[in-house]
């Protein structure tokens, strides 16, 4: 490299090339929203410690009614394949063909095992977004504006549980602004019956008044890592959390 000349004709000394120092400025990491699901809330209500040890830490396996749970999973998968691509139901599930046929004969847009998520202010979002507050899955969703149909397959005994139906209705209302009514129903396959509810936006909003304190208690437990045991009859027979002072004792004090 030849020396450069100064304006007065003299030579300029060569200087060793110094690469330019680049400074990067990263945006601060977004804080991930605390999120919950209906199953977590239900298990927390039963016993906070049991939910913590099984659902959050995985320290113990939940094998209560293990065969029944496996059967439920198998039924959900088989019905999903039947509705999505027409795969025939297994021989032992032929009794459920009535329900599959009923769904397929409906009008509107059919969605199977559809995942929904909403933010803390009940806005729609994606299932794994940082701002997810609540997640839910609809076994069967049919959009036929201004009405939506939601079916949740159940393989156990008939139980009354309107909260789960309301939560899925909220997901539908959040994701589909033109929907005015949601017919949300449990399909009790073993008993061959259903327990439907027809919900409006106002009715769902009214139910949040009672539900939000329960959700707040779950969130506070997560923030403080406070999951006290809640002894009941479940401790004696079903609970697997052997490090609990009420294990196999229930309401009796340790």
Domain with residue 145: its CATH number is 3.90.320
The pLDDT confidence band at residue 21, using thresholds 50, 70 and 90, is low
The pLDDT confidence band at residue 254, using thresholds 50, 70 and 90, is very low
Q: What does the pLDDT average to over 185-200?
A: 95
C-alpha angle 167-172-176 in degrees, rounded to nearest 5:
155
Q: Is residue 230 part of a domain?
A: no
Task: Tell me how many domains the chain contains.
Answer: 1
Q: Check pLDDT > 80 for residue 253.
A: no
Q: Check pLDDT > 60 for residue 8.
A: no
- Please give the residue that has the higher pLDDT: either 83 or 2: 83
Q: Is residue 204 part of a domain?
A: yes
Q: What does the pLDDT average to over 17-43?
A: 73
**Per-residue pLDDT, 63:** 54
Q: Is residue 253 part of a domain?
A: no
Q: Check pLDDT > 80 for residue 169.
A: yes
Q: Check pLDDT > 80 for residue 248.
A: yes
Q: Is residue 248 part of a domain?
A: no
Q: At what angle do helices 66-85 and 97-104 cross, to 10 degrees?
A: 40
Q: Please tell me the pTM assigned to this model.
A: 0.82
Q: Is residue 143 part of a domain?
A: yes
| Residue span of the structural domain in which 130 resides | 36-223
- Average pLDDT of the chain is 88
Pair 146, 179: CB distance under 8 Å: yes
Q: Is residue 97 part of a domain?
A: yes
CA distances from 8 to 2, 15, 123, 204, 226 (A): 17, 19, 71, 85, 80
Question: For 95-147, how does the pLDDT look when each residue is reduced to its tens digit (9 = 90+)?
Answer: 999 999 999 999 999 999 999 999 999 999 999 999 999 999 999 999 999 99
Q: Is residue 121 part of a domain?
A: yes
Q: Is residue 125 part of a domain?
A: yes
């Amino acid at each position: 490299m030849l020396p450069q000349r100064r304006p007065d004709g003299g030579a300029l000394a060569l200087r060793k090339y110094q690469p330019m120092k680049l400074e990067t400025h990263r945006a601060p990491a977004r804080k991930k929203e605390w999120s919950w699901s209906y199953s977590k809330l239900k298990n927390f209500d039963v016993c906070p410690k049991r939910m913590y040890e099984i659902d959050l830490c995985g320290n113990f396996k939940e094998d209560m009614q293990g065969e029944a749970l496996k059967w439920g999973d198998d039924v959900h998968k088989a019905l999903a394949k039947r509705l999505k691509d027409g795969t025939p139901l297994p021989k032992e599930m032929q009794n459920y063909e009535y329900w599959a046929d009923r769904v397929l004969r409906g009008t509107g847009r059919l969605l199977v095992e559809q995942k929904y998520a909403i933010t803390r202010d009940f806005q729609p979002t994606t299932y794994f977004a940082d701002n997810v507050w609540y997640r839910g899955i609809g076994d069967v969703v049919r959009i036929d504006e201004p009405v939506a149909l939601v079916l949740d397959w159940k393989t156990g005994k008939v139980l009354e549980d309107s909260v789960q139906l309301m939560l899925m209705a909220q997901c539908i209302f959040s994701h589909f602004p033109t929907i005015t009514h949601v017919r949300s129903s449990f399909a009790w396959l073993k008993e061959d019956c259903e327990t439907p509810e027809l919900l409006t936006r106002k009715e769902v909003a009214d139910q949040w008044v009672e539900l939000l304190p329960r959700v707040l208690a779950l969130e506070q437990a997560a923030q403080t890592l406070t999951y006290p045991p809640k002894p009941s009859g479940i401790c004696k027979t079903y609970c697997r959390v052997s490090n609990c002072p009420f294990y196999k004792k229930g309401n009796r004090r340790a």
